[in-house]
Structure 1
Amino acid sequence: MADPVWFWQRIVSPHMAVLAAALAAQGRKVTYVAEQEMSADRAAQGWHAPDLGEANLRFAPTVNAVRAAVSDAPETSIHVCQGLRGNGLIGIAQKALAERGLRQWSIMETIDDSGWRGVLKRMEYRRVIRQWRSKLEGVLAIGHTTPHWLAACGIPPERIFPFAYFLPESHVQNMPNFDPAAPFRFLYVGQFIERKRVDFLLDALAKFMEVEFEVALIGSGPMETKLRDIADNKLPGRVKWLGKKPIGEIPSLMAGADCIVLPSRHDGWGAVLSEALMAGTPAICSDSCGAAGVVQAGGGAVFPAYDTQALGDILKGALTAGRQMAEQRKDLAAWARCLNAETGARYLEAVFTHAQDMTITVHPTVPWAHVFREQEAK
């Protein structure tokens, strides 16, 4: 029987729990350990804990509970832990797992290392990695720049495996039939906070008022008043405020948009981009989003994070190209199945096999390595 796998996360995250459930469905014995079901801030954003299927859910909200869970783990178990530093009780678990000599993996997102704080972060991560690299069997690196960043900080490249947040299969069964007279619809989904730079998007779109389009915004946050002022002054009548929506409603709303845009100055991944592609909706994002590599593989466009002109050119290009037809969107959704949890679980199995068999010299191929055919044709 395959070695049991334990996931260690702070919450029952929709982005990781579905992977654990898929791995369990494929025959692994899986345990998912979390400090709590859901944090207050994530619940306020519409998140809810997904069904873990055949995986065992265990809560460890205290130091003693964490140590008891580590003590119960089988000798042959593999442990996938969230991050390497600053993750609450997970740090206690990582130390206890190391004391037992159990096989340990870290799963890490893209790190925001901009500005002077970034210099300090890189120094701190180099220190932490020196401390931990001998204890790690491997690192699952989420984000297109993360593998290189981790290698530069001291993780041996052969132990770094590009990874993603794999999501449930989209429930959108049919691509929508758009009204030909309806304006081209851009979509943003997420918090209204400075890091997401929704104002950057609105300012860029304000340059094309001579073209028919609208932009739908799903979410909320402290910048909403400022964004409404920008919309009223620069995009009158063009912005649709849809408010917060439960996660389960998002795919259908994405399927009703012509293009999703994530202009963040930093996003560890940007799961909304994966969700949009799985719904057949083309994507645009900054190169500071971890999912930028997947967006490019899916035929989307990526712009330098602080290049206003580049974003404007890409938005104008999307408007000029016009709405994609239903058949194209179905093809994109079919390609994006490389991002679903079942595919992610099979890839993780291949990663574990590679790490155990030192005769295998080539890393497993990432699921999104084969680019969307529309991109290949360019």
Structure 2
Amino acid sequence: MKKTTSQHISDIFFWLDFPSPHIMPLVMEIGSLGYNVVVVCEHGIPERRQNLGWKEFSVKDQVPVIISPSDAVYESIIEKAGRQSSVNILYGMSAFPLSCKAFKSLKSKPCKIGLFLESYRNDQKLKSSIRQIFYLLQSFRYFRVVDFLLACGKLGVRSYSKTLFPTGRIYEFGYFVEGSSDVEDGDVGLEYNSEQAFSFSYVGQLNHHKNLKILLDGLSFVLGDFHLKIIGDGPLRGELEDYVAKKKLSEKVDFLGVVDNREVRKALKKSDCMVLPSSYDGWGAVINEALSSGCKVIVSSNCGASSVICDNKLGEVFSSNDVHELTFSLKKVMRAGKLSEEDREYIKSFYNRCLSPAVGAEHFMNIIKLAGVCSKSIYPPWSGRS
């Protein structure tokens, strides 16, 4: 392993596939701490993401964002990024060409190198075993050179603890997205936040791994007055609409399609509980968005963000693909009743203390300052440990 003992940090480089709105708020906060932060991306936000409502994050000239650098620009970045006072964060391990290229260029230089990784999918038996072997082999290329690994949630920590990376270099991390700004109250689709109806919501793509059918199965066993708003679109929309009819839930479920992020935040402010039933999600940034809006969550144990749900005032975690546990959780949050203003303030306070970009930036700086220097354990802000 190369030696990077200097604790002085002047420049921090993020090597990304594209400027994700799930990462850029954290980057901006790190820059506000007085460090020179540069974001280098393979390309802009892909069209398929834009079609889901993703927009370019405004950096307000505080952080340079370099898209598709020319060879000359790339070499000038590497010259600075390779210095002993520089830290480089590579997003993904062998998944994105720019990160791979940067790793090859930087691995023999005195800078610090960290990987930002989601867990790999672990719910597919044979395929998951093959993935584990793949990442074990991939880690052979990296473990001698990488100074620290930012792993998304406990799932990420468990995944990469099975590779060659020393556990002392693996730190639990996550996504720290922009909080819910003060948005005007307004209706999103049909009115459902009445005094009587308990309001559930789902935000995301309508595809197989989001596992919406299990949510509909669970709700078919739930009695009482409730509504579910499904925000998002995808290849399974028609099939899911038919499934809603089959489960006799047509009067209780509304499909809103893709809406602007501001409208998503309005919906979450009106919702009593947001459900993320994914069979797998490396993190699940909608959990952050829901909590910042003062909305309870129910989340599958196979989502990285399940790590942050540490008490039942925030919501519930159910075992992935277990319809009985999900049904129990749905009934439990309904029995607790619609959210009061006090409930919402508690949830928003948790977000501000544990998941805001400012808190994420502090956690990030603690890691990169101590990684490779001392053996002190560094816990994520949501752990309740210091």
Q: TM-score, normalised by structure 1?
A: 0.92
Using the alignment, how far apart are the partners of 1:164 and 1:179 within structure 2?
31
Quick check: which one's helix share is greater? 1
Secondary structure at 1:32's aligned position in 2? strand
Native 8 Å contact 2:15 2:98 kept in 1: no
User: Which residue in 2 is equivalent to 1:137?
Assistant: 147
Return the match for 2:47 from 36, 40, 47. Answer: 40
| Amino acid in structure 1 at the alignment position of 2:267 | L
Please name the residue that 1:60 is paired with: 68
Residue 370 (structure 2) aligns with: 354
Q: Are the aligned partners of 1:185 and 1:214 in contact in 2 as well (CA < 8 Å)?
A: yes
Query: 2:77 matched to 1:69?
Result: yes
1:95-244 alignment, distance < 5 Å? 95-113=104-122, 114-172=124-182, 181-208=195-222, 210-234=223-247, 235-244=249-258
Task: Indicate which of 16, 23, 28 corresponds to 1:9.
Answer: 16
Shift of 1:100: 3.1
Residue 315 of structure 2 is aligned with which of 285, 290, 300?
300
SS at match of 2:228: strand
What is the identity, as a one-letter code, of the residue corresponding to 2:371?
A: A
* Structure 1 position 330 matched with structure 2 position 345: yes
3-state SS of paired residue (1:260): strand
Give the Cα separation in 1 of the matches to 2:288 and 2:185.
17
- Alignment partner, residue 5 of structure 2: none
Task: Give the letter aligned to residue 316 of structure 1.
Answer: K
Cα separation, 1, equivalents of 2:132 and 2:290? 32
The Cα shift of 1:246 comes to 2.2
State how far apart, in whole Å, the 2-side matches of 1:245 and 1:173 are: 15
**Alignment gaps of 5+ in structure 1:** 372-378
Matched position secondary structure for 2:121? coil
1:41 to 1:64, Cα distance in 2 relative to 1, 3 A = farther
RMSD, matched Cα: 2.2
Identical amino acids, percent of aligned pairs? 26
Q: Tell me by how many angstroms 1:17 deviates.
A: 1.1
User: What amino acid maps onto 1:44 in structure 2?
Assistant: N
Taking a change above 3 Å as real, the CA distance of residues 179 and 190 of structure 1, as seen in their structure-2 partners, is: closer
The CA distance in 2 between the partners of 1:32 and 1:271, in whole Å, is 20
Matched, 1:345 2:361: yes
SS in 1 for 2:97: coil
The answer on whether the counterparts of 1:176 and 1:255 sit within 8 Å (CA) in structure 2 is no
Aligned in 2, Cα 1:62/1:328: closer, same or farther, shift over 3 Å?
A: same
For normalisation by structure 2, the TM-score amounts to 0.90
SS across alignment from 1:192? coil
Q: Which residue of 2 aligns with 1:279?
A: 293
Check 1:36–1:129 CA distance in 2 against 1; reply closer, same or farther (3 A cut): same
Provide the rounded CA distance (Å) in 2 between the counterparts of 1:292 and 1:3. Answer: 34
* Whole-angstrom CA distance in 1 between matches of 2:99 and 2:9: 24
Task: Kindly indicate whether the alpha-carbon contact (under 8 Å) linking 1:67 and 1:93 is maintained by their aligned counterparts in 2.
Answer: no
Q: Distance in 2 between matches of 1:127 and 1:269?
A: 24
Q: Work out the CA distance in 2 between the residues paired with 1:137 and 1:206.
A: 49
Aligned to 2:327, the other structure's residue is in SS state: helix
Deviation of residue 151 (structure 1)? 1.4
Q: Distance in 2 between matches of 1:286 and 1:62?
A: 42
Partner amino acid for 1:36? Answer: H
